[in-house]
Structure 1
Amino acid sequence: MSSKRIYLVRHCKAEGQQPEAGLTVEGFGQARELAVFFAGLEVGAIISSPYKRALQTAEPLSRERDIAVERDDRLRERVLSTTDHPDWMNKLKQTYADPDLKFEGGESSREAAARGVAVIREALARDQAHTVIVTHGALMSLIINHFTPGFGYDEWKSLTNPDVYRLTFSTESCKAERLWSL
């Protein structure tokens, strides 16, 4: 395989965590900045979580490049639990240490990563050399960890809204590189 790149994008600043939560005014500005950021980079496809904030993050780049955004439900945010946990950050941290740990109504890190990784593998099998994938912080960190082990809870905590990591795939390896900084 010749070198292919996946640009993993964490959505811009949003008004909340629900699927229907949109971007803030600042988030819309960030989405426009992302479109400018990608201006000098080759992009063959844009795939996004169906959540409103992710789609709104992808929209300016889609318009600029005249590339339709493909929605993929597998890029939705990871569900930690369907029960509210006051100590959810501690519970999340536990799932990075134990990828099979699962809380009521939620999915394990391994399960969430598997659906995100499937999207990446399908993108790599396409003719396009470079794909932009817009998703959410927890899922993004699990995908990066799958291909470059060691990306865990602390790295998840350091992600920004937005954030961009480039995964460069060659015959035998994957290199992850952070491209975005506020």
Structure 2
Amino acid sequence: MSEGYALFPTAIGTCAVAWRDSDSDSGIVRVLLPGESDDAVRAQMSRDRPTAHEQAPPTAVAEAVARMSALMDGAQDDLADLHLDWSGVSDFHRRVYEIARAIEPGTTLTYGEVARRLGEPGAAQAVGQALGRNPFPIVVPCHRVLAAGGKPGGFSAPGGAQTKLRMLVIEGAREPDPPTLFDT
């Protein structure tokens, strides 16, 4: 098996996708949100997937790239049928990611709601940590998961919460109210 990656333009900047090829299947192993530059995205991909080489994606991955780009342009596509390579993803993280994948564009859940759907109502912080390690942003829409009270919460992508809010606005979600001095 070999690994490849490609950069692709979106409305939020240049993203990247990596895949693992086998004789019969191409599975996405990593998606990166934009960095400060194309070179920064390449460098991050080289750190994350050191055996991957930049190249044209196979047909299935090229179609996934087109759909991710369209979603970031406002298309209503949940990307739920895209093939992900789950190797190296823990069972708990995969369960969190599967719940996140079921969140429709333009809608959100809180970390606590995801934890309750897992059947682990006290696991909101663990849900947040899992989403912070999400290897498939856009496809696993961690940006659709908010902190309590609809606040944006953290976001590990470059640009932080502002990138998260921008993605939500593109998808048609109501932007969370900004915090006030009296919020705790």
What TM-score results when the alignment is normalised by the length of structure 1? Answer: 0.28
> Counting helix residues as a fraction of each chain, which structure ranks higher?
1
Bigger RCO of structures 1 and 2 (CA < 8 A, at least 6 apart): 1
What TM-score results when the alignment is normalised by the length of structure 2? Answer: 0.28
